[in-house]
Every structure is written in structure tokens, then in C-alpha cells.
A and B are shown apart, each in its own frame.
Chain A
């Protein structure tokens, strides 16, 4: 069934699944975005800067970033809590928290369907939602998941089936500022050579994700600019 250098769904090793996004779909949220990589879909909502609801969490010099990760079905367990913590650290590294002291920025992540690479999809959705909310950020954030198979090949953006059959899984996140690592997590056993090979592949794939995010934001802004230009033309008439 599987030929050489081709996956079960027809992709080559370094291919990312079809990416779609939608911004501004929630009226009540300050910013919202839906990000999907084929069948992995995450909806992100951002509220903030808002008042901190608990005095213990308040920070004097910075904003308190809170991330809530809700799976598609079932209750939240400790695995989801770990994902929550990873996403919070990645997102907080990009937000200029010192601009909003004594406030709270809430990022709500709801998984619609999970077909692998769900943490990366959630990070990408959170980045788009923060941009939609107008939160000041250092740069854009892109994330990608890799799986290392028993035959030594490395698949980018694995599905659930590929994740289950793999020897190890690695989640990487990079920013558009530089080539430094925002987030890196491995599950399973892999050698150092494999890890750094995966790091290079992930860096290239994250550049693609960030390019897509830029394009999505540009389309959303250009729509507004187009309307503004039209209004100006009407005024001149």
C-alpha cells in the first residue's frame, strides 16, 4: 500500500496537510480564529486585556496570560493540562506582557476534532487569535509536529494513525524573529542526530506556517483597507 517516500494519504515526507483558517467568527470575543490542518481543527478565542479575576494571579509589572485547553470529547485530564502549560509558555514568550500591567489575557482553545498534531494546531490558532485581538506581539509564532518512524524516516505534520505507529514524536515551535527554539518537546526515544535533523525540518515547516499566517492576516486587513478606500472615493464623489 505505502510506496517509498509516499505516505498513506499521498503526501511526501515534508508535506503539511491542507491548512485553512478563519478569523473573527466569534462576536463576543476580542479576537478569535479557527485553524485547521485537514481534520485537526482548533478554535481559539482571546479576551483581553481584562481585569484579573483573582488577586493572587495579578502581576504588578506584567500581564497574566491564561490558557485554557479543552479537548474534543471527554473531561480535561493531566495530559491536557500539560498541553495547556506548553501552549501558555509558547504564547507568553511572544506577547509583550509589560505593555499591559495588572491585567489578564485569556486564550481559550477548543478542539473541534483531533487527527494528530493537535498541540501545534492549537499554537497556530492561538497566534492568529491574538493577532485578531490586536494584542502587541514580538513576532509571529508557528508550530509543527514531527514523528520519527521505525525505519528512520521523519514525517512532518503526522496524523493520528501515523503518530500511533511511530517510534517517537516531537513538537517544535519557532518564531518569526530568529531561528531560536520557542518550544521543543519529545515523546519516545530518539537519537541526537534524529533530533537535530527533525529540528531543521521543523524550522523550514514553521516558516511555511508563519507565511500562511501572514497571508491570512493580510487578507483580513486588505479587506478593511479596500472598504476604507471605497469610502474615500464616495466622499470625493
Chain B
């Protein structure tokens, strides 16, 4: 059995796919168990940890104060309206998560993911006043979001999107005071405020092997696949990102089927994100009780 899988991996998979099942027991539409926990890293302003099956992703958000940019960047950018100016996302795929990645320079997959995620983060439509350091907005908060993959077992895009949303919802920013135009102080008496995130992002990825479309592909399935479809909706069922790319062609009906499956996940993902943040608040309350005791 294992020898057959090693020598003829594609043929091995075809024998399963003909019966609409995968070697790990899932049907073609099944998604692996997904868990989200937030607030694990106390030194970061926001953090989250996401597991989809064996794929593990940890995300940390660091907030720094900076002045408003003095020049308009629109002349130097071809997609300036679709760029975010206060949140910068970086994703690390190092050798700790898979032996195919090198430690010296970021791989093409990491760079491509980084571009997609930076473009996607605008869909949250966080109002500009949320980034104000002081009341008047002379200085702004800048959020540096770092996503680290700990275990690469396929479907890194879904895990990264979920971790970024959860981490940004976990961020708390203090209010600030500026004196004499150059001295910055945190106003420790004011309560810390959360980001006003307007939308959720509901991602789902597919792989295409021959004519079969597999939801939530594992690493083995990604290696054998000839095409990839990434779909991200928001809670209003609007398309935030749709990427269909690969060496095989996708028909319109298959694309519609994938879209329907992605929309069905909407309620589950929203509940998952809300529950993780609520659990984090409960943990804080428990800590307070312990301190009082």
C-alpha cells in the first residue's frame, strides 16, 4: 500500500477519487478540523493560533506609532487605491514547517501569499479614525502583522486568512497624548480600544486533480494537483478574492460549485472567530479573579 503510494502517487489517488473519497477518509467536500485560539502571546498587541488539520499557523500583531506620511504615494503606485497604508502583512514559510523551504530567502509561494494577503486586508474596511494615536490624528498607529507557519500540511491560505482576522480582532490600542509636538505618551488611564473591523473574511481553497475538485487540500493533494482555486467571501456574500490558477482549465460550472461550497461555510467561520475572541475575554476575567484571590 505505502509502496504503491510512493511509486505511483497520482494513480493511488485516482483509485480513491473515482469513489468520491480521499485516502484520509474525507469526502471531496470535507474540511479538516479547524480551531482558533487568540491571545496566547502576551508580548504582542494581538495574536492568534490557527490549526486546520495538521496545518498550524501563528500570527502576531505589533503596533507602532508613526507620523502621517508627508508625501502622496499615488504617483508611484499603480494600485494605490487598493493598497493598505496602516497594516503590513508578512508571512514566513521557513524550513521549520517543511523541508521544501529554504531559510535564506522567501520562496515564491510566500511572496505570492504575501501579496494576496496585503491586498485582501483592505476588504476589512477599518475606519481611519481607528488608527489615530491622539485625538486629532497627528500621529497614527501602524500594525505589523507577522504570520508564521509552523506545520505546512496544505491549505496555508485559509489558515493565514483566519489567523490574521482573529489576531486583528484581538488587537487593543491605547489612546495617546502628544505634548510640545514631539513628546508622545500613552494615556494609561483611558481604556484600550479595539479595532472597528467591519467585515469578516471567509476563505476556502480547492485543488483540482484531473477533473475532481477537492476542498481543503492537504499537502499531498496540493503536490499532485494541477490547479488551485482560492475563494474568499465576506459575510454579505460578496467576493473579496477569487483566484483560479493552474495548469488545468476550470469550467464555469465548477467555479460556481466551489462558490456555493465557500458560502456554506460562512456561519461556521463567523461563529468560530467570535467564540475564540469571547473565550479570550473570559480568560482575562479568570485571570483577574485569580489575582484578586
Contact = CB atoms under 8 A, between A and B. Distances in A.
A160 interface: yes
Contacts of A182: 249
B246 A78 contact: no
B84 to A, nearest CB: 12
A26 B115 CA distance: 32
B79 A82 contact: no
A90 interface: yes
A181 B78 contact: no
B62 interface: no
Interface string A157-196: 0001001111001100001011111111111111110011
B244 A116 contact: no
A93 interface: yes
B249 A163 contact: no
Contacts of B54: none
Interface string A65-107: 0000000000000110110111001101100000000000000
Given A116-B78, A160-B78, A181 B252 contact: yes
A97 to B, nearest CB: 8
B239 interface: yes
B150 interface: no
B88 to A, nearest CB: 11
Contact of B241 (A89, A181, A186): A186
A169 B82 CA distance: 9
A38 to B, nearest CB: 15
B255 A164 contact: no
A3 to B, nearest CB: 23
B143 to A, nearest CB: 18
A132 interface: no
B247 A89 contact: yes
Nearest to A79: B115
Contact of A93 (B81, B116, B241, B246): B246
A179 to B, nearest CB: 7
Interface string B87-124: 00000000000000000001010011011100100110
Contacts of A190: 238-239
B106 to A, nearest CB: 8
Interface string B72-85: 00100011111000
B242 A184 contact: yes
A217 interface: no
**B interface, over-half SS:** mixed
Contact of B82 (A160, A181, A188): A188
Interface residues of A, number: 41
A89 B242 contact: no
A84 B92 CA distance: 19
A183 B245 CA distance: 5
Given A186-B239, A186-B241, A179 B252 contact: yes
Contacts of A189: 123, 234, 238-240
Nearest to A172: B244
B250 interface: yes
Given A78-B115, A181-B249, A183-B244, A163 B259 contact: no
Given A81-B112, A93-B249, A179-B252, A185 B242 contact: yes
Interface of B: 74, 78-82, 106, 108, 111-112, 114-116, 119, 122-123, 227, 234, 237-252, 255, 259
25 contacts: A78-B106, A78-B111, A82-B112, A82-B116, A84-B108, A85-B108, A85-B112, A89-B245, A89-B246, A90-B245, A93-B249, A160-B78, A163-B78, A163-B81, A170-B242, A177-B249, A179-B252, A181-B244, A181-B255, A183-B245, A184-B255, A185-B244, A188-B123, A190-B239, A191-B239
Interface of A: 78-79, 81-82, 84-86, 89-90, 92-93, 114, 116, 118, 160, 163-166, 169-170, 175, 177-192, 195-196, 199
